Amino acid sequence: MGLSCRRFLISNDGVIYRISNKRFDRMMRHPEDEPLGKFANQRIRCADLVIELIDRVPSSVCRETFAILEFDRLGCLDTGRFEKQQVALVDAMLEIMMADKKAATNVVDATQRFVAQGGTWLPTGALRVQIEKVALGIIDCLRA
């Protein structure tokens, strides 16, 4: 048994592209060196799935997360925005966990929650099934 992390980009017209973790890492480190011209000036949905492997064959989906990526006019990933959204997600999660330890107040600072929500999305049931089938190798997809 093993695990595999798989990342997919879903274009605005619904086409699913698989992007290697290595390429995504390069996009995060040096976005200007790894532009994706087909996504220029767009907000693109991203799905990250952890897949259980049995004898190196995908068998089931263990975990799914969904983010929104923004690309500039050249197709370079806006890493600053993505990182802010990821930090906001962690902060929102920690806020929930620490809620009972904070003093009661009538003022709620929801800034981080709004930032976090701007960087996430939830697929329809049909799209989720399609993404999972691609991740499990049941249907093919394009490469980004």
More confident residue, 135 or 101: 135
Tens digit of each residue's pLDDT (9 = 90 or more) over 38-72:
999 999 999 999 999 999 999 999 999 999 999 99
What's the confidence (pLDDT) of residue 116?
45
Supply 12's token pair. Answer: 């605005």
Per-residue b or e along 62-95, where b marks 16 or more CB atoms closer than 10 Å to that residue's CB: eeeebbbbbbeeebbbeeebbebbeebbeebeee
Tens digit of each residue's pLDDT (9 = 90 or more) over 92-129:
667 766 666 655 555 555 554 544 455 789 999 999 99
Question: Is the pLDDT assigned to residue 36 strictly greater than 60?
Answer: yes
**End-to-end alpha-carbon separation of the chain, Å?**
28
Q: Are 28 and 79 contacting, i.e. CB atoms less than 8 angstroms apart? A: yes
CA dihedral for 17, 18, 23, 27, sign (positive or negative): positive
